[in-house]
Structure 1
Amino acid sequence: MDVEILYLRMRHRLFVSPDQKVRIKDVAQLVGPDDITSTIGQLVIHKITVHDKTIVIIDLMKVLRRLREFKPDLEVQTVGPPQTIIEVQYPKSKITGIYFVIVWVLLFIGSGLAIMNFHEDVSMQMVHQKIYYIITGKQNDYPLLLQIPYSLGLGLGMVLFFNHIFKKRFNEEPSPLEVEMFNYQQDLDQYVIMNENKENEKKANDD
């Protein structure tokens, strides 16, 4: 008699709505006989409630226990990560135009002050004056011939550095900001997983 084998791979992240029923097919990829994967995929593994708040961790062991309850003789081979991070997406309030303008102005002023303070620290105006004197042999306290192209080049360099202008991307390579955001998300996911495991251990000890 052939042994029925199910291959299971947990997904990394899943976005759900409040009060949604999370099924095994939502948190894992299943490979095996069609009749088994279709039936097992419909099994409910978790029901989102208000107590879950925004993050839920579905551990592989919880999925295996559910499979064991449903079909004890099924052989399961697991690959990939040992848990799935479920993020509950609640309705977000829309940002009005006035708040958008306020945030935009604050960011514009803050970034402008940061650039000006940096230039003041490195004496950029003095550098431009010396470069202008070396090129022309004349003293000029305001060498606009250098400062204007430098300012335009600074803005263009920032656009090329972040690989975006509004929603347009110049190429498929991720920008340094996207790489940093990815690394931050990875660290955040690891923290959430570790913190969730500690909370589960504490609940088990209390019980």
Structure 2
Amino acid sequence: MDKSLYLRLRHRIQVNPNQIVRLEDVAQLVADSRTIDKVRQMEIYHVNVNDKSIKILDVMRIIEEIHLIDKNIDIQTFGPAQTIVEIVYKKKQFKPIFFIAVWLLLFLGAALAIMNFHEDVSMRVVHQKIFKTITGLDDEKPLLLQIPYSIGLGLGMILFFNHVFRKRINEEPSPLEVEMFNYQQDLDQYVIMNENKESSKNINDN
């Protein structure tokens, strides 16, 4: 009887403190039903109080655990060689005062950045010259240009970030989401290389 097991580790999973991590939690499995029933509930790791927020599970250790149950299973692995186990602790209660403080900080910072940029490039003078070119009139406050420009600036930011509050305008990711994704990928790679003991060997290791 064919005992081939095709195993693909998930890139990242979330667990609760003191949870038992089983094989079906960390991997996608393809095999005959008898083989899957034999291994899918096997314990891979037990989250304990000494764990902080990240634990790395290596595919080689998982293969060893499977062979302890049945050494005749032919394991074929695909995808990543490690799974990042993120331990999710109880979230702190939301505090509106902190939200308001952060919102005001970001709002004032963005407003100052925009105003300083406009001052650096002499945007008011540019508007005055454009207004005089179009109408032939001198106006220190060409509101016919400044008001639509201000509205367009806000609409441009909405289109750039592809969100109106929590509602997404379309399915295309925004540049901020792409940068956050790249940052998360780099962070995961760093965690895998530094937290996974199986990925490195020191000169004093036996």
**1:171 to 2:178 alignment:** no
Aligned counterparts of 1:206 and 1:81: Cα–Cα separation in 2 = 26
User: 1:135 maps to which residue?
Assistant: 134
The root-mean-square deviation of aligned C-alpha atoms, in Å, is: 1.6
User: 2:104 maps to which residue?
Assistant: 105
Aligned counterparts of 1:60 and 1:106: Cα–Cα separation in 2 = 45
Amino acid at match of 2:167: K
User: 1:144 maps to which residue?
Assistant: 143
State the identity %. 58
Superimposed CA distance per residue, residues 127-165 of structure 1 (whole angstroms, 9 cap, x where no aligned partner): 101101101111111111111110000001100111100
Verify the 8 A CA contact 2:8 2:79 in the aligned structure 1: yes
Aligned counterparts of 2:68 and 2:133: Cα–Cα separation in 1 = 83
Aligned counterparts of 2:8 and 2:44: Cα–Cα separation in 1 = 15
Cα distance change of structure 1 residues 197 and 143 upon mapping to structure 2, 3 Å threshold: same
**1:83 to 2:82 alignment:** yes
Superimposed CA distance per residue, residues 142-199 of structure 1 (whole angstroms, 9 cap, x where no aligned partner): 1111111100000011001111001111111111111111111111111111112368
For structure 2, which runs of at least 5 residues remain unmatched after alignment? none
Which structure's residues are more often helix, by fraction? 1
TM-score normalized with structure 1 length? 0.94
Verify the 8 A CA contact 2:58 2:196 in the aligned structure 1: no
For structure 1, which runs of at least 5 residues remain unmatched after alignment? none
Aligned counterparts of 2:204 and 2:84: Cα–Cα separation in 1 = 24
